[in-house]
Amino acid sequence: MAGSISTVDLSGIVTGIAAVKTVVDAVEAIAALNAVAISLVDTKVDALAVDLALARVDITAIRANTDALAVLTESGGTVTTDGGEQNVYVEETPAGVFRPICVKIKTAAHTAAETIVIREYYRIASGGAYGDPADEVEFAGLIEGDEITIDLAPNRYGVKVTIQKTAGANRAYPWEVVYES
């Protein structure tokens, strides 16, 4: 057959090319979805880093507050009266504003024959002298209960509580102070 042109069936090749194009399109779509997913993960990681930084700031602030919290501290002893004014408790040079809470004096040994005077003093200037008593209470005869509690005020420069026997026998008075340190 001279001069005749034969036709080749290309439909199978066209179908194969279409299938390859579909696969390539699917791969490109998956790559685009992966890029979006990576972007979302990056955004979440950045947000977590910011949250972590804020949490560290919060933890640092909480630590500073808890480290600064006052701790209740107690001290005590016994004073035996001798007729003169005697120190029960003295804090001469507190480190900053000082928060004494109270002084308790045990009066179990006190009898109907004794009279004592309890005085509370505050220093209001650095290196200054104690002024007149901020409070003065006399206990004559039997004391109801077996303990006297003297509430104290915050102070910057010093506080003291004294006891003086003005009548009766010398007695031992155990005491304690509670304060924030």
125 in the same domain as 39: no
Domain boundaries, position 93: 73-180
> In angstroms, rounded to a whole number, what is the distance separating the alpha carbons of residues 149 and 104?
4
Instruction: Report pLDDT for 68.
Output: 66
- Could you give the count of Cα atoms lying within 13 Å of 132 in the half-sphere of its Cβ? 2
Residue type, 113: A
Note down pLDDT in tens along the chain; length 181 residues.
566 666 667 777 778 788 778 887 888 888 888 888 888 888 888 888 888 888 787 888 777 777 666 677 888 999 999 999 999 999 887 777 788 899 999 999 999 999 999 999 999 888 888 989 999 999 999 998 899 999 999 888 889 999 999 999 999 999 999 988 7
81 in the same domain as 54: no
> In angstroms, rounded to a whole number, what is the distance separating the alpha carbons of residues 73 and 154?
15
The model scores a pTM over 0.75: no
> In angstroms, rounded to a whole number, what is the distance separating the alpha carbons of residues 140 and 165?
10
Q: Which helix (H) or strand (E) holds 75?
A: strand 72-80
Instruction: Report pLDDT for 69.
Output: 66
Q: Give the end of a domain, one of 41, 69, 97.
A: 69
160 in the same domain as 83: yes
Helix (H, G, I), strand (E, B) or coil at 47: helix
Cα distance from N-terminal residue to C-terminal residue, the chain: 117
Q: Give the end of a domain, one of 25, 48, 69.
A: 69
> In angstroms, rounded to a whole number, what is the distance separating the alpha carbons of residues 99 and 125?
16
39 in the same domain as 16: yes
The two tokens of residue 33 are 């979805």
